[in-house]
Amino acid sequence: MWGNTLKLSMSAKKEYVDPWYLGVAKLWEWCVNKEAGLFPYLLRKSNESGGGDISHPDAKYAGRWAGDEVYLVGDYDESDLYEKAGNEFTNISQPLVEEYNDFIAEKTFQLKPTGS
């Protein structure tokens, strides 16, 4: 199916998450799949003192984008951010998914990237 492919992008840190690595590309797919769990993982702001939060001292991506300007930008968007992210930003998909899956721990809920 053709349509608008959406890439998760963060301009200030020049990072993006590749939709094809995750196997989700369209808005509907992002909304109904467990890959959407990456949003609270990247955006959470916490002092980590409560139960259920990150307990790994070397977590690099948990809360990494909290407070920053973040986009789920489409390849048809006139801003050219989709293209710019792919050409100029760092693809953090693989290390992000690895860290996220370590945090999730339960295999049923872990992400299974398709790779690109």
Distance CA 116, CA 18 (A): 8
Beta-bridge partner residues of 16 = 9, 91
- Residue 48: band (very low, low, confident or very high) from pLDDT cuts 50, 70, 90: low
3-class secondary-structure state, position 71? strand
Dihedral angle over CA of 48, 49, 52, 54, nearest 10: 30
Query: 65-110: per-residue pLDDT in tens?
Result: 999 999 999 999 999 999 999 999 999 999 999 999 999 999 999 9
Q: Average the pLDDT over 17-44 and give the result.
A: 92
- Whether 56 has a pLDDT exceeding 80, the answer reads no
> Could you tell me which residue, 11 or 87, shows the higher pLDDT?
87
- Residue 50: band (very low, low, confident or very high) from pLDDT cuts 50, 70, 90: low
Q: Average the pLDDT over 37-43 and give the result.
A: 94
Are 86 and 9 in contact by the 8 Å Cβ rule? The answer is no
CA 86 centroid distance within chain: 14
3-class secondary-structure state, position 23? coil
What confidence score (pLDDT) does residue 1 get?
46
**What does pTM read for this prediction?**
0.88
- pLDDT more than 70, % of the chain: 92
What are the sequence ranges of the domains in the chain?
6-109
Q: Radius of gyration (Cα) for the chain, nearest Å? A: 14
